[in-house]
Amino acid sequence: MICLNAFIQIRKMSLAAKCFKLATLNLLLFTLSGCDEIGELIDSNKDPVIDRLYALSDNLSPTDTTTILVEAHDPDDDGLSFKWSTEDGWLSSSSGQKVLWTAPGVGGNFQITVKVTDENNGKSDASLTLTVLAIQKPTVKIVQPEFGSHIPGLGTINIEAIAGHPNGVKEVLFFVDDILLGRDNTSPYIMPWHIEGKSGESNILVQAFGAGAIPGEPGVDSVIVSVEGVTRL
Q: For the beta carbon of residue 132, count every other beta carbon within 10 angstroms.
A: 24
Same-domain check for residues 15 and 67: no
Q: How many domains does the chain have?
A: 3
Question: 23-37, 50-64, 135-149: lowest mean pLDDT where?
Answer: 23-37
Query: Do 122 and 143 have their domain in common?
Result: no
User: Is cis: bond before 188, omega within 30 of 0?
Assistant: yes
* CATH number of 104's domain: 2.60.40.1080
Find the mean pLDDT for residues 24-52. 64
* Coil, helix or strand at residue 15: helix
Residue 119: alpha-carbon gap to chain centroid: 30
Is residue 110 domain-shared with residue 175, that is, in the same domain? Answer: no
Q: Are residues 143 and 223 in the same domain?
A: yes
The verdict on 172 and 187 lying in the same domain is: yes
| Per-residue confidence band for 44, with pLDDT thresholds at 50, 70 and 90 | confident
| Domain span at 175 | 139-228
> Do residues 76 and 128 both lie within one domain?
yes
Let me know if residue 95 belongs to a domain: yes
For 157-191, give the secondary structure using H, E and C: EEEEEEEECCCCEEEEEEEECCEEEEEECCCCEEE
User: Mean pLDDT, to the nearest integer, of 71-83?
Assistant: 96
Mark whether 30 and 72 lie in a shared domain.
no
Among residues 185, 231, 184, 179, the alpha carbon closest in space to that of 205 is found at 179
**Residue pLDDT, tens place only, 92-110:** 999 999 999 999 998 888 9
- Domain end position, chosen among 83, 105, 132: 132
Are residues 125 and 148 part of one domain?
no
Residue type (1 letter), 218: P
Q: What is the DSSP string of 104-126?
A: -SS-EEEEEEEEEEETT--EEEE
Q: What's the rounded mean pLDDT across residues 34-50?
A: 69
pLDDT tens by residue, 181-195: 999 999 999 999 999
Same domain for 107 and 173: no
CATH of the domain at 208: 2.60.40.10
Cα–Cα dist 66/184, whole Å = 34
Peptide bond preceding 145: is omega within 30 degrees of 0, i.e. cis?
yes
